Structure 1
């Protein structure tokens, strides 16, 4: 049995989300809050919570500030973002701050339930379509120069490690990556360890953030094109 808290100030969406979870996850205890203050009070009164689904547009907080407060106040509680905002950098920033997932409000019902289930099973969830989007083209010149700098980290990885990192960026577990790439799970673990070491990443999430910052999909496409020449 899971215990979930939905923090969203829109009653219709909150009710819809609770209905999806209730229908898909039997015997789940569902709690709700319409503000960050109410969510914090609910967390204090329910120390057995398994997951908090947090909207980024609560009336008493702005942007990722609510996530920061929750991570500082109750670091033991997994927090996933459920938001209408879908900018890739925002997703990466949320994960870097400790969110265990980011679910767009436009996510279809079945996919939404699958995402919540994946998070409850201890996996990171990222919206694959958002993560595949290229970064804005009007980046400051300093950022562009940094991407071409010889210290750029993605070239340190082998083709297979890039494949594994791409799967990681889609929120896949080691078992899912093994199935996707048709390799042993122990081999995936070896690749993940090498990826973290070569990227200088402190964690799996940190590696995913680096992949987003350096446009993994763009880099792999360019690398594949060069290998054909």
Structure 2
């Protein structure tokens, strides 16, 4: 239910001379639990995205390819925007990055599909380039993908996909409060078939119904 240990410490960007590759996986999630709109979320075991990131010395190109559920590749994918922000913020200019996404979380069903991809990409890039991000930095970076997907940055789903368990996010400070249940919690998920148009951003579309 979690990608791995949360890293901390100083950021020391690597210059990649030879091609390097890493694979990360991130689970689906359910958010807006009870009164916690954009604040409370939980990771769901069973559905996950797999992301393979490779980097080599180059001119700063970013390529994104996606398989499954007709999710777009290229700049139309949340991974592209997370990677672009990562490179801008942490000074990655001399590496070409290829991100391959194998979608296991279906989109537009309230299961945090874009968040799963964004979380896996944010965490994978931090490992690949040895840039040690803390919890808040990881959440904020992954939130860039959510901003592209829904029209506004929110961190509940990405926090659950990054850290697993039951998560509460402080919307003002970006702090994450995590509690992993000590017992197995069965969850029944019912997703109605909705004729969702990809021309609309999800949050804007939902609030207009």
The TM-score with structure 2 as length reference comes to 0.29
Higher gyration radius (CA): 1
Between 1 and 2, higher relative CO (CA 8 Å, sep ≥ 6) is seen in 2
Q: Which structure has greater strand proportion?
A: 2
TM-score where L is the length of structure 1:
0.27
Higher helix share: 1
